[in-house]
């Protein structure tokens, strides 16, 4: 493995000159640059990442901190991760996937942050009140959130615009003529834990429905097909004449569809279904394909990384706060309601 010294010797220049043609941190004449480049090619030289990191105090490694529990990642989160990895790679950074225990080891996080392995960090699955954020801030690590805390003062983040997403979804259903719309959220425990998407969409749903003069009926659901089934049963118990379901639960929505079929109700003729923050791939798995508010996918991860890198390379003090909308994509699961009363259903 050739070192910078070898290159310098072969090119008959000093090591610093070699370093400077590499970093471009000061002007080099065409002639010397050419000599150096030739020598590099000759020796098949690659700079040593660790040495560079130590000397420059920049590892060019970014951390992607994500809680990895039993369930693994959904399609939406996976898209964030792959988007981030691709973006990091594109700007010459490496991306370390760092599984951090959901709530537990803040100490581990602090330790991580102090090792100076990461130039900066993207934190996923942020809670409304998230100790990890303050821990990271105190450690002085440049930070961008995917999602956001309750108080975003001084923080950089990218998140989904849940308010607008819910508003559009409700508008779509109301526009079709639906009046009895039930909102199926994540579980009660998830809500209690302060999970932002669940709480923000809940509030947005109340606002949207009230704005249309309709009653906001909401049902929690476990993140499973069975949870979706149970939630739909509960929904019918509460609102027997419901004609539309708005699901904020990518997994439960399949149980909802199954239960609907089991009850002899057709989608979308008897009941319309909109799945929020859902990837097209998942939407296509259902029959009929789901009308969704499509999640921003890899763009989310990409934007987070780009903001972080801008923060690292740039002057420094700008904050990046951005909400991304989910786009309404109408597929086969929504239609105008038909009154089941007249059919005797």
- Residues near a second copy (CB under 8 A): 1, 44, 46-51, 53-54, 59, 61, 64, 68, 71-73, 75, 78-79, 81-82, 85-86, 89, 94-99, 111, 114-117, 224-226, 251, 254, 257-258, 261-262, 281, 284-287, 289, 297-298
Choose the contact partner of 29 out of a second copy, DNA, none; CB within 5 to 8 A by kind: DNA
Question: Does 217 interact with DNA (rule: CB under 7 A)?
Answer: no
Kindly provide the residue ranges of all beta strands, DSSP E only, lying in the chain, ordered along the sequence: 61-66, 94-99, 120-123, 143-146, 156-160, 181-185, 217-220, 244-247, 272-278, 291-294, 321-324, 327-329
Distance (Å, whole) CA 263 – CA 266:
9
Provide the phi-psi class of 302: left if phi over 0, else alpha when psi is between -120 and 50, else beta.
Answer: alpha
Part in contact with DNA (CB under 7 A); list of ranges 15-23, 152-160, 264-272, 276-284: 15-23
Question: Does 111 interact with DNA (rule: CB under 7 A)?
Answer: no
In three-state secondary structure terms, 342 is: helix
In sequence order, the 6+-apart residues with CB closer than 8 A to the CB of 11 are: 17, 18, 32, 35, 36, 38, 39
Alpha-carbon radius of gyration of the chain: 26
Choose the contact partner of 345 out of a second copy, DNA, none; CB within 5 to 8 A by kind: none
Question: Does 61 interact with DNA (rule: CB under 7 A)?
Answer: no
Choose the contact partner of 22 out of DNA, a second copy, none; CB within 5 to 8 A by kind: DNA
Choose the contact partner of 91 out of a second copy, DNA, none; CB within 5 to 8 A by kind: none
Site string for DNA, 27-46 (x = CB under 7 A): xxx-xxx-----------x-
Question: Does 338 interact with DNA (rule: CB under 7 A)?
Answer: no
Contact 304, 84 (CB under 8 A): yes
Contact 60, 119 (CB under 8 A): yes
Tell me whether residue 28 or residue 245 sits nearer to DNA (CB atom): 28
Part in contact with DNA (CB under 7 A); list of ranges 9-17, 69-77, 99-107, 310-318: 9-17
């Amino acid at each position: 493995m050739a070192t910078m010294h070898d290159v310098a010797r072969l090119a008959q220049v000093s090591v610093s000159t070699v370093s400077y043609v590499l970093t471009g941190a000061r002007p080099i004449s065409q002639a010397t640059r050419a000599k150096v480049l030739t020598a590099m090619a000759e020796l098949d030289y690659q700079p040593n990442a660790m040495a560079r990191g130590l000397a420059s105090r920049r590892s060019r490694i970014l951390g992607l901190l994500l809680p990895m529990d039993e369930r693994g990642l959904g399609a939406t989160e996976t898209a964030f991760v792959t988007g981030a990895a691709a973006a990091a790679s594109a700007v010459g950074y490496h991306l370390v996937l760092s599984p951090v225990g959901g709530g537990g080891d803040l100490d581990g996080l602090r330790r991580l942050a102090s090792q100076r392995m990461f130039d900066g960090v993207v934190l996923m699955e942020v809670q409304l009140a998230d100790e990890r954020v303050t821990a990271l801030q105190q450690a002085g690590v440049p930070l961008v959130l995917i999602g956001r805390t309750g108080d975003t003062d001084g923080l950089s983040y990218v998140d989904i615009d849940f308010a607008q997403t819910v508003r559009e979804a409700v508008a779509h259903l109301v526009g079709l003529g639906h009046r009895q719309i039930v909102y199926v959220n994540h579980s009660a425990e998830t809500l209690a834990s302060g999970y932002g998407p669940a709480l923000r969409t809940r509030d947005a749903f109340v606002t949207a429905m009230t704005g249309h003069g309709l009653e906001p009926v909401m049902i929690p659901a476990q993140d499973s097909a069975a949870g979706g089934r149970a939630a739909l049963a509960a929904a019918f118990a509460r609102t027997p004449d419901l004609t539309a379901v708005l699901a904020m639960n990518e997994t439960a929505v399949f149980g909802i569809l199954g239960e609907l079929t089991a009850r002899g109700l057709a989608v979308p003729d008897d009941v319309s279904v909109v799945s929020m923050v859902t990837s097209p791939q998942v939407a296509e798995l259902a029959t009929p394909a789901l009308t969704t508010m499509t999640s921003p996918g890899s763009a989310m991860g990409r934007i987070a990384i780009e903001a972080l890198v801008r923060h690292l390379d740039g002057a420094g003090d700008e904050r990046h706060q951005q909400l991304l909308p989910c786009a309404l994509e109408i597929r086969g699961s929504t239609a105008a309601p038909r009154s089941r009363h007249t059919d005797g259903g």
